[in-house]
Amino acid sequence: MGNTSAAGGYLIPAPSAPFGSLTFKQFLQTVFVGISGLPFNLVRPKWEINPAKQPDVTVNWLAIGLHVNKPDANAFLGVNSDGSNNTQRHEELEIDCSFYGPDADDVASLTRDGFQVPSNLEALRSVNMGFAGTNSALRVPDLVNERWVDRYEMTVVLRREIFRTYPLLTFLSANGTIHAELSGGEKSIPFASGG
In tens digits, the chain (195 residues) has pLDDT values of 456 666 677 777 777 777 878 888 999 999 999 999 999 999 999 998 998 898 988 999 999 999 999 999 888 888 877 777 888 999 999 999 999 999 999 999 999 999 999 999 999 999 999 999 999 999 998 887 888 888 999 999 999 999 888 877 666 667 777 777 877 778 777 777 665
Residue 155 is assigned to a structural domain of this protein: yes
In a domain, 13, yes or no: no
Q: How far apart are CA 18 and CA 139, in angstroms?
A: 35
The per-residue pLDDT for 1 is 46
Instruction: Please report whether residue 130 resides in a domain.
Output: yes
Residue 112's CB: how many other CB atoms inside 10 A? Answer: 19
pLDDT value, residue 65 = 95
Rounded Cα gap, residues 33 and 123, in angstroms:
12
Question: Is residue 12, in this structure, part of any structural domain at all?
Answer: no
Residue 131, pLDDT score: 97
Contact 122, 51 (CB under 8 A): no
In a domain? residue 6: no
The residues near 176 (Cβ < 8 Å, ≥ 6 apart) are 190, 191
pLDDT of 95 reads: 97
In a domain, 125, yes or no: yes
In a domain? residue 41: yes
Q: Residue 109 falls within a domain, yes or no?
A: yes
3-state secondary structure of 15: coil
What is the rounded distance in angstroms from the CA atom of residue 138 to the CA atom of residue 136?
6
Q: How many domains does the chain have?
A: 1
For residue 41, what are the CA distances in angstroms to 22, 23, 37, 60? 16, 17, 12, 11
User: What is the reported pTM?
Assistant: 0.79
Which residues form the domain of 32? 24-194
